[in-house]
Every structure is written in C-alpha cells, then in structure tokens.
Amino acid sequence: MPGHIEFETTFSVGTDAVLPDLADLAPGGIERRTHELDAAYLDTEDLRLAARGVTLRRRTGGTDAGWHLKIPWGEGAKREFHVPLGQDTDTVPGELADLARATVRGAALRPVARIATRRTESALRDADGTPLVLVADDTVTGEATESTTWREVEVELAGGDRALVERVGERLTAAGAVPSATGSKLLTVLGDRVPRPAPRPSGDTAGDVVRAYLWDQVEHLLVHDPPVRLDEPDAVHQMRVATRRIRAVLQVFPTVLRRDATRPLADELRRLSGVLGLARDLEVLRERCESWLAELPERTAGHRLSGAWLGAIDDHRAVETRRIADELAGARYLALLDALDDLRAEPPLTGQAGREARTVLADDLTRACHRLADAHDHATAARGAGARVTAWHEVRKAAKRTRYAATLAAPVLGRPAKRVRSWASRLQQVLGEHQDGVALRAYLAEHAHTLAAAVDDRDAALVTLGALAGAEAARGAALIEEAARVWSGGPDPRDPLPGR
C-alpha cells in the first residue's frame, strides 16, 4: 500500500476574488476541470486524529473517489493512502484503520464533519503535457456543529518542483490571497474543538531537560509507527532506536527519574525492542552479505547462486515482519503507547529534578562513564573467545547508554559532554559493526544448511557461506583493535568532565 507524498499549500481568498493568470508558468498550457466533491470525515469523539494532523474521509466525486487517509510525513508533507469506495459506507477499510491504530488507540471512529466542495482544478503542464502543479479553486461548505461556507485555493505539487509551487503562491499572495490559518478544510470546520497538542517541555531544571528529551523520543516512536506497519526501509530501526533511547534515559538518570516507578515501563520497552530486533538484525545481515559478496572473488563468492540464499534470508525476515505486525495490532502495544504519553506528560520526577540541570546531569553522565569504564575493564580482562565476545557486547551497550546520556546533557554541559558523545558514538559504531559480524557468523552457523538447500549446487553455496564467515572472523579481530584505538583517544572515563 504505497500511498503518495503530497506537498500542498492552502490560501484563503475572498468569494469574489479574481485569481491571477498563471499561463506563463505552464509551457504546455493549462487544463481545467470542474468537480463536485462530497466527503464525510471520521474521527474519535475526542478528535485524536485531528489533534495529530491526521485526516480520514470517505469522499465521492472527482477522479479519486474513495477512502482517503492522510498522515503527516516529514517536513511540510503528508502521505495519502487510498482505498476504493466499496459497498460498505460505515466501516473503515482495515488497511487504513491499521495505519491509524497508534493514534486511535481502540476508540470508536464516527463521522465528525461533512464537507461539500465545488472545485475548479487547473493543471499547469510542461511542454510534454505532464502536470507540474495543480491549482484547485474551491468553494466549500462544511458542517459539524454548524454550517459554514468559504473559498480557498490549494496549490499541490505534481510533476514539477517545489520552487514552482512557491512561484504560484507568490502570484496568489500578490493578488490578495493569504495563507490559510488552518491549512485544512477539516480544521476550519472543527475550529477550536480540536485539542491543542501538548507543548514540548522547556526550562532550566534537570527535570525540564529530561522531559524535553523524553518528549522528542516518544514523538520519534509515534512518527515511525505507520512506516513500520508499511515495512518502509529503516523504519524498524528507527522505532527500535526510540525504544532504546527512552530506556536509556530511564536507566541513566536516576537522580531525575524514580527508577522504581519507571522499571515496568522500561521492561515493556525492552520487550518491544526484542520483537523488533530480529527483523532489524536480518536486514543488517543481508546488507553485510551483499557487501562481502561484492568484495570476495567471484569464484569464491558464488555470485551465480547468491540470489537464492539471499532470498531465503528475505523469507525469514518476512516471517519476523508479520510478527511485528501482530505485535503492533495488539492491546499490549497500545497500552505501552498510553504509558509513554503519560511518561512524557507527567514523568515520575525525584526531589532532585527541580535542581539546576548542570550539576545533576553532570553527576549522572559521569556515573554512566564509570559504568562504561567498568565494562571495558571486564572486556580487556576476559579470557576465552565466548567470554570476550559477550564482554565487548556489554561495552557496546554501555557506550550506547553513555552516548544517549551525553546527547541529552550536551545542550547544558557544552563541549565536554559533546566530546563524550563523539567518543562514545564512535566506540558504539565500531563495536556495533563487530557485533553485527558476530551475529552474521552465528546466523550462518545455525542456518547455513537451510540457506544452501535453497540453491541447486548445495556444496558451492556452503563454500560461499564459509567464506563469508571467515571474512567476518578476520574483520572482527581488526575491529577490536580499532575499538582499543578509539578508547585510548577518548576522555578519561573516570573523569569525563574535568573542571566541572
């Protein structure tokens, strides 16, 4: 269900306004069509969709009659998903309901407004006849608690570029149009009934800084929920990162957040991260396999056979993707989202949270660096291949927590925290690559025969897989040496913020 990205700007105009001539912006001329559109908009009773800028409607008329779901998708854009009308006028199509699930949270969807639009659409075309920009001159009648009528102009990017949209907007503004106060027909109809989103926390105390960071990370998770459901590239990774960052804050800043109150939430975040984990790991493993295949000699890598066993990895990932979909459809996940909303609205702050941020965050960041140093000491003293792998994995996790803590504290602590962040980030990167290699070797050891069975020449495939495992083993040793160099070039982890 790909949907399409929509870049659109809306202007308010007077009912008698004369729109400017745009013919010089359309080398291939302007095609005009008129439509009568009628749409029923659905939302929860407390307007949860509208509050997050999401719209769900069933519209008749025009060239795209059907069910439409629009979700904010990056800066200044929305992604629109479309399902044909069908016979059922009351039940939201399952694929659209699923994409809105994290916002609706199980509440009933019902009609909240009806909007009728008489539209004159002008398509500005290039010399080949391709539409560049669509300009819709709309006379609108909206009904919610009462009826209201207005006129507006929508300028939507088609096959052109955003600079052309801006030029059309400048022409409209020069002719007396003004940017819409709401940017949405639905918001115009609903007015102040739409709940205002909670503002991002601000302030100078330790609690204020931690709350702002939590606000950002919960938002990051919510924004990536629809892309995860669509299995968009990197989406699972981004949601997993958000869960880890939130957990890190709950663990690394006990001076600010009560650990006894946040431990159940941290456990649920760990569980969700685990559900997301294998699909993400398989995504990384496949990329590593492709990278090694490009570097190994063709006679060793078995390029002729690789497509089949790489496809077997894809099949395994597809199973894990369905597992994620089942998880995100469940009540436990929605309960976690409610708990995260509560956390960022009213986190369980300690009595120290009201203190000046600099001192409190410095203490907790220093403590995180000490734990990283302890993990490093344990890794360098470990004996036996298995023990060393486990110990360096713990160093990676401690570096990740330190990096997140330094990221949170950097706006307050300045350069020393930024140095810790840069050092911990590089250490995490090197050891993360090492761990990816360990994971690939373990995966190949467990699944090599299954993967080889997917190709005609099983023995040749096993040789290829063995070559990949050997290359990873050699690379792993080099990465541990690189981690040692990164460690020695960083700050003193026992005194990471000198002179504070």
Which domains, from first to last, does the chain contain? 4-193 (2.40.320.10), 206-488 (1.40.20.10)
Q: In this predicted structure, what is the pLDDT of residue 1?
A: 66
pLDDT single digits (tens) 45-96:
999 999 999 999 999 999 889 999 999 998 889 999 999 998 888 899 999 9
Q: Which residues are within 8 A (CB) of 74 and not within 5 positions of it... i.e. 6 or more apart?
A: 5
The total of other beta-carbon atoms located within 10 Å of residue 158's CB is: 16
pLDDT single digits (tens) 282-329:
999 888 888 888 777 765 555 555 667 788 888 999 999 999 999 999
Averages of pLDDT over each 10 residues, the chain, 500 residues: 86 95 95 96 97 96 94 92 88 96 96 97 95 96 94 94 94 96 94 90 93 96 97 95 95 93 96 94 89 73 63 90 96 97 94 93 94 96 92 96 94 95 97 94 87 78 84 92 96 88
Return the closest-CA partner of residue 28 out of 163, 130, 158. 130
